[in-house]
Amino acid sequence: MLQGLKKGDALTDITSSIEYFVVDSQLVDGCIALLDRSSREPKFWPLHEVYEGISQQRIKLHRADTAFVPVHAHDSPAFLQRLNWATKCLRQVLDTTDELGMSFDRAFHLVRDEHRGQPFPTRSSMYRFKARHLAGLPVLKGDKNKGCRKARYQLEVYELITQHAPLYCSPHSRWQMPAFVRFINQQARDKGYIEATQSVSLRHVRDTLKQQGYIDTGSYRMERKNVAAARSMGARRIHTTYPFERVEMDGVHLPFLVQTDHGVSSNIWCVHAIEVKTGMVLGWKLVVGSPSENDGLDCIQSMLFSKKTAFRLLGLNYSFDIYGTPGLIVFDNGAEGKGERMEKLLLLGIDTEHCPARHPHKKPYIERLNRSLKTALETLPGCTRMDGIDGKRTMAAERETPLSLLEIEQFMVRWYYEQWGNQTLERHQYTDPECGVTPMERWKYFTETSGHVMPIPVTQDEWRKVTLVRSQRKLSSKTGITYEGLSYKGSNLPHLLQRFHEAPVSVYADPRDYRFIYVDDGSQLVELAEEFVHSDSPAFTLEQCKVQRKALREQLKPGEASQFERDIWSQSLQTTTRKTPEKTAQRNRTTAKKHKESQAIQRAIAKPLKASSLLGESVNKVHDATMTFDNLPTFDVVDRRNEGGKA
């Protein structure tokens, strides 16, 4: 499902709110012809700037026949399975059309005959699939774009088919589809699920089996070890018509001892991908340890988005930038190409295909790249490869100074685009040599000379919605969003509160990076940061962060009580009796007045005045005068041990 700009598409510049119409899909000197809707003036905009704007969400694309609800918004495994099945069936018919040079209708009947007894789309459905495929759209619109329909049968009929599905969809089953359908009908009549005159059709049984995941029922009826071989085709030359039609991806072990930040390792892998039509390397990911689904997704991400930052971090300065959306990615059975998130790539218009075990001819281009990469780098220090055999000179490599991980990646990327990109390939000499005989020549031909329109890149938000973990969380004005025991806030929180006001929202989280989550506000994904994250915080996984937070809480648990706490508790347990107190307000005023007087006396004692410095000579006169204290009143003597009583 390749999507390129076509005549009639509308583009909206978000920053200036200007709308453009695509006048012609053919490029003129690398520019696309547009019409300004407001001024009615033509404009020629460089295609790479348009695609970069779409990728960074500065430009919004509007297409007349696009479904109201995009396919990536269908959070349904059943829809994903149906879409995968329909796409693969269509690809088989299109491949047969190209290989045998026949019409689409004849190719359909030929492929359908090969799948006799198995689920396969009807002729009218296949033509609809083809029309949507040529329009650059997914072959299915999805249930969210359909009207409401009542179920044809009771729910018990669907449960009955699901319950007995293993009778038919199991290895060495004795049941055939017609007998299985008659059995379902008889069981439904006996249980009263349908009337005596009613019958469940064979088509309905097949559709129900598809909904339960039995897309290719024939594969379920064979032994597991025979499925790959039975579904594979004979050796043939893989033919592509345009760039990004087919991309092959694989993980290759690099025969090197490499110095990492944490020590020397010989378990170094590279997950990389090659574009078949041009032969250019689209993406890569260097991994310490065995690759996983996360590493495969990182490699695909490097295919889809600009590599300028990656080149700059490696100290490389290239004038070209190679990225785009592939129509088909071919994997083997490695861990880097498996997982639930890999299956969701179809929601972005990226079809996936897994080669059977021990079938390297199913992806010959990436296998050739693997061998050439090892051969080109085998003279570097620390390489264990000798005479084409990995590990043959391990003992000698142990005595050499190994290269760092960054140095290996620099040499590897330089070889991709300086050596391999300018190397004459034999297959290019015999297949469309006018397009170029090196990968770089072919890339420039299709992007600059021929006027071919490259597929539209996916946006960052679309990528996150497919590859991140989605869940529902409630928005709070106090704690922000709580996810896995962590609170996420940030400068975007007021915007979300104003829009949703503590309502449940869709949250997308990366299990490998606890620092951020993304909230869908209806038009874009808004980023929120974990409340204790700072600029130097490592990007720990959620599990690592939870373990660390738990360890900190264990350290903060109170231990043995201190002497101060023991004294507080001891005094608190003593019981004392007092006289009936006076009113609280009067008591407080009296106490405050006496306290202020006492404070005044204490201040005077602490800082006595020198009389001579204030009164001068008049002090001496006062002292010379005769003074008597006979008329002064006497003071009461207070016994404080008797609670203020007089002595």
Nearest-angstrom CA–CA distance, 490 and 565: 39
Question: Is pLDDT at 124 greater than 70 in this prediction?
Answer: yes
φ and ψ of 530, to 5 deg:
-65, 140
The contacts of residue 405 (CB under 8 Å, 6+ apart) are: 258, 259, 260, 261, 268, 286, 288
Encoding tokens for residue 278? 């041009």
Q: Is the pLDDT of residue 526 over 90?
A: yes
Question: Residues 469-506: pLDDT tens digits?
Answer: 999 999 988 889 999 889 999 889 999 999 888 889 99
Q: Three-class SS of residue 351? A: strand
**pLDDT at residue 14 greater than cutoff 50:** yes
Q: How confident is the model at residue 328 (pLDDT cuts 50, 70, 90)?
A: very high
Q: Give me the pLDDT at residue 1, please.
A: 46
Residue 622 is predicted with a pLDDT of 47
CA angle 562, 567, 568 (to 5 degrees): 95
More confident residue, 227 or 453: 453
Binned at pLDDT 50, 70 and 90, residue 429 comes out as very high
- Return the higher-pLDDT residue of 49 and 560: 49
Q: What is the mean pLDDT of residues 315-335?
A: 92
Average pLDDT of span 61-90: 78
Task: Say what the pLDDT of residue 640 is.
Answer: 62
Residue 316 to residue 322: CA distance in whole angstroms: 14
Q: Considering the entire predicted model, what is its pTM? A: 0.58
pLDDT at residue 234, rounded to an integer: 45
In this predicted structure, the answer to whether residue 623 has a pLDDT above a threshold of 60 is: no
Residue with the larger pLDDT of the pair 3 and 95: 95
What is 145-167 written as a DSSP string?
GS-----SS-HHHHHHHHHHHHH
Q: Is the pLDDT of residue 283 over 90?
A: yes
The predicted-structure confidence for 183-221, as pLDDT tens digits, reads as follows: 999 999 898 888 888 899 898 899 889 888 888 887 788
Share of the chain above pLDDT 70, in %: 87
Residue 458 scores a pLDDT above 80: yes
Rg (CA), the chain: 39
